[in-house]
Structures are given as structure tokens and as C-alpha cells.
Copies of this chain bind each other. A is one copy, B any other.
Amino acid sequence: MHIHLQNPAGETLFAFSDSMWAAACDRAGAIAQGHQVTIGGTPADFATAMRTAEAVISDAGVLRSCMPFAAPHLKLVFVTNAGLDALAPYDWLPPGAALMNNRGTHAGKAGEFGIMSLLMLANRVPRMVTQQRQGVWKEMWGSVLGGRTVTVIGLGSLGGAVAQHARQFGMVVTGMRANPAPHPACTRVIGMDALDEVLPSTEFLVLACPLTPATRGLMDRRRVDLLPAGAGIVNIGRGALLDQDAVCDRLDASTLCGAVLDVFNPEPIPAGHRLWTTPDLIISPHTSADDPNTYNPVSIDIFFENLRAWQAGKPLPNRFDFERGY
């Protein structure tokens, strides 16, 4: 089949390359053989490739920038993002084509970012950094993670990876998701409808769910205020899951031990925004889940898993669910 890979124009760090593709083919075996492969970097490259391509691999921003497009043979659209909210509504998708995200790609990096954030909160690093900014030396005692409670909202590849690490450090892990099926890394899994009951006993809260109509504004001011004194917040999902101002208000009042936020609303954070000077807050510029050394290679591996399923007539592991929005 004709598989087209589209790079962002001028991108070097996260670009697909011939050698990266060749290495992934070696890992994938027979499924990767016999294809016609093109790699493009301009809208013209994309338009040309789409005349014959049956599969395309691209990130959401690039795909969006190439719309509208005609792709009469397109069967597989593999988007190298976990969250596809930037591509909604999905009426641009050619009839009969399957849309996939790259969930799984981010698990390794995001899981490490998540456990790092929990360690930083337990060690009071957000407060240390605030004192450092003020030029103040003041002892700031932390604790080990063992025995402390964390609530992880969303148990997909990101939340599942964070839960797994947290469990290894001896934490008591409460997982929350729409369907509260058990999860091997969680002490217990609870349905999202019980969120109000779980928050008051949550020492650390990790937001790791996708942004959908159901989760937008999930942690509104009322729920942020349900967290107990001294709690900590990590957000590696999407900025619009969380009422930022409510978090800033609690940090200003020193009623949280800190927050480590990787996603914001809007991004980038505008100059002069209160977030920049809010105490006990660590700002990560939406890079928690992405490791340039492994991101695209792992994405290609996952594409081949899906191609294997597609050729066998099986369900695509990464098929985007339009109803759930992830």
C-alpha cells in the first residue's frame, strides 16, 4: 500500500526520516514489507501524496493545516497525538477511512513525568522553588510516597503508567474512570460519578484523562475546593479539565502543598498571566509526554500493530471512538 508520512514544515526534532522508518520496518517484520512509502514536509507534498495514499501518518496540527484535502484511496489515518480534540469536528475524514490516535506512545515518558511530579509534591519541590525565587533558605520537610494516597483520573496509557509507578512506590492508588473495571495498578477503581466523594480524602490528584464534552471543566472550582488542605495536583491531561484560577487561588492561600501542571488554558500561557507568579506551582510547557528520541519510532511501531489488525480484519487497537472522543 502507499503509506505517506507528513512532517511539520521545518521540523527537525520530531520529524520522520527514512532511517527511522527503515529501523521500524526491521522491528515490525513482514507486515512492514512491500509498501510504497513517501515522506513529505509541505502542503504540496501532502496534496500530491493523497492522490494515491491508502494510509497517512501525521500529527494533528499538520493534518489540520492541510485541510481541506481530497484522498480518494485513503483507508487509514494515523494521527501521532493521543488527544484528537484539535481535529473535531471530524467531518473532514474521507468516507470509509479509519481514524486512529497514537495512544501508547506517551506511556513511558508520561508515566515517568507523573511519578516525578508526585515525588516533587511529596518532597515539597514546588515550595522549594518558590523560596528559591525569593532567595529564602527555609527547611521544608517532605515525605516518602509509601502509604500516601493518590487519585488518578483516567486510566488510559498515561494514567495507567502513572498508577503503575505510584503502586511500585507503595502508594495507595485510587483509579477513576467512566467504567470502573478493576485495573492491575490500582488499589481500587471507582466510577467518575463518585468523584465528589473521593476528592476530600485525596492527598494527590493526577488528571490524565482526555478532553471530551464529558470531561471539560471536570475539576471546576467547587471540586478543586473539595481537595483537603495540603493536597497536591498534577495535570498531564488537558488544561480545560481544570479550573486554573481556582487552583491559583488555593496556592495563593497556601492550602495546597503544590501543583505540577503540564497543560494550560490557553497555551502558551500569555505574558503577565498570574500563573507565572503563583507560588508553589511548577509550569511545564506541555512537554510531559513527549520524548523526541522515542516518540516517532514508537508511533510507527503502533501504526504497524494497527496495520496488522486491519489486514487481518480485526478491530484496530487505536481506533478513535467518536462517541467517547478518544
Contacts and interface: CB of A to CB of B under 8 A. Distances in A.
Interface of A: 13, 108-109, 112-113, 115-116, 119-120, 122-125, 128-129, 131-133, 135, 137-146, 168-169, 267-269, 271-272, 276-277, 282-288, 290-294
A113 B123 contact: yes
Contacts of A288: 123
A193 B211 CA distance: 54
B120 A112 contact: no
Tell me what chain A mostly uses at the interface: helix, strand, loop, or mixed.
loop
Contacts of A138: 285
A282 B125 contact: yes
Given A119-B112, A119-B116, A129-B129, A141 B282 contact: no
A206 to B, nearest CB: 15
9 contacts: A113-B142, A116-B125, A120-B120, A120-B125, A124-B287, A125-B282, A132-B276, A139-B285, A141-B292
A133 B133 contact: yes
A269 B137 contact: yes
B128 A284 contact: yes
Contacts of A169: 112
A94 to B, nearest CB: 32
B292 A139 contact: no
A90 to B, nearest CB: 27
A112 B144 contact: yes
Nearest 6 CB-CB pairs, A to B? A137-B268, A116-B119, A135-B276, A132-B283, A143-B291, A108-B144
B120 A116 contact: yes
A50 to B, nearest CB: 29
Contacts of A119: 112-113, 115-116, 119
A112 B145 contact: yes
B144 A291 contact: yes
Contacts of A116: 116, 119-120, 123, 125
B112 A284 contact: no
A128 B283 contact: yes
Contacts of A267: 137
A109 B148 CA distance: 14
A238 to B, nearest CB: 16
Contact of A294 (B120, B139, B144): B144
Contacts of A128: 282-285
A202 to B, nearest CB: 18
A141 B283 contact: no
A37 to B, nearest CB: 26
Contacts of A124: 287
Contacts of A271: 135
B140 A285 contact: yes
B139 A287 contact: yes
A267 B137 CA distance: 9
Nearest to A288: B123
A244 to B, nearest CB: 14
